[in-house]
Amino acid sequence: MRKEVPIVICAAAALIYVLSTFINPTTSPFLGKLKGDLDTWYLLVYAVAFAVGLINLAQIHLRKVTQQRQDWQFSIVLLGFMATTLIFGIFTTGKGPVTDFLYQYFFVNPRATMYSILVFYISSAAYRAFRIKTFEASILLVAAVIMMLGQAPIGEVIWSQIPKMSAWILNYPNAAGMRGITIAATLGGVATALRIVLGIERGHLGGGGE
């Protein structure tokens, strides 16, 4: 029963979603309402799960502080900011100068910094990938050089055909490969969904494959 009931619920919910996608909403408004209700229920589940997640986060870091494990000072910072954001979020309903300040200066900037790190990581990953060890790596390097020169003004100065070559690589071999992967992955996604709906794959129920 522990496995069967969730499978039946999952199959019923999946059927509602599939039917509401393919059946014209004007012919069956009830189905649309049912799907809307399911979406609302998911939000409720998400909210409850979020609280569970917060408790997990707080527990881990509180334990780290009380046991004074390695780098426990950082956990104090995390817990402090978590509590401050939570308190001001609750009492000001997410609006007001303090919440704005916290968001603007303690959230947006670190976020942008993390994103910026990608620039350096792209360089180091490219360095490793472009080292000519194999025939494939050589093709990758040649294509990458053409692409980079094609995107920069210097490419056209070196040879007027470079931007055209770059566009050709992007629009034909690259697009064909990407579309092939996308089509296969989409079919894989449908097959996975069907396995879950039929109860063949039960990984999401916590028990591994079967």
Partner 1 sequence: MIAPNQTWTLIFEAAFSIGLIIMITRSRKGLKVPAIRKVSGLEALDEAIGRATELGQPVHYSPGIGDFQNSQTLASFAILGYVARMCAKYDTRLITTNRNPVVYSVTEEIVHQAFVAEGRSDSFVADDVRFMSDDQFAYASGVLGIMAREHVATNVMMGAFWAESLIFAEAGAISGAIQIAGTANTHQIPFFVAACDYALIGEELYAASAYLSKDPVLIGNLVGQDFGKIFGVVIILIGTIMATMGNNSLSALMKK
Residue 133 CA from chain centroid, whole number: 32
Q: What is the dihedral of CA 128, 133, 134, 137, to 10 degrees?
A: 30
Cβ contacts of 63 within 8 Å, gap of 6 or more: 69
Please report, as residue ranges, which positions from 13 to 72 form the binding site for partner 1 (by CB under 8 A).
21-25, 27, 42, 45-46, 49-50, 52-54, 56-57, 59-60, 63, 70-71
Q: Which one-letter DSSP state was computed for residue 28? A: -
Site string for partner 1, 65-104 (x = CB under 8 A): -----xx--x------------------------------
- Closer to partner 1 by CB, 68 or 70: give it: 70
Cβ contacts of 35 within 8 Å, gap of 6 or more: 16, 17, 20
Say how far apart CA 101 and CA 98 lie, in whole Å: 5
Q: Is 135 in the site for partner 1 (CB under 8 A)?
A: no
Q: How far is the CB of 187 from partner 1 (least distance, A)?
A: 5
Please report, as residue ranges, which positions from 169 to 188 form the binding site for partner 1 (by CB under 8 A).
178, 181-185, 187-188
Say how far apart CA 7 and CA 5 lie, in whole Å: 5
- Which residues here bind partner 1, judged by CB under 8 A? 21-25, 27, 42, 45-46, 49-50, 52-54, 56-57, 59-60, 63, 70-71, 74, 107, 110-111, 114-115, 117-118, 121-122, 124-126, 128-129, 178, 181-185, 187-196, 198, 200-201, 203-204, 206-210
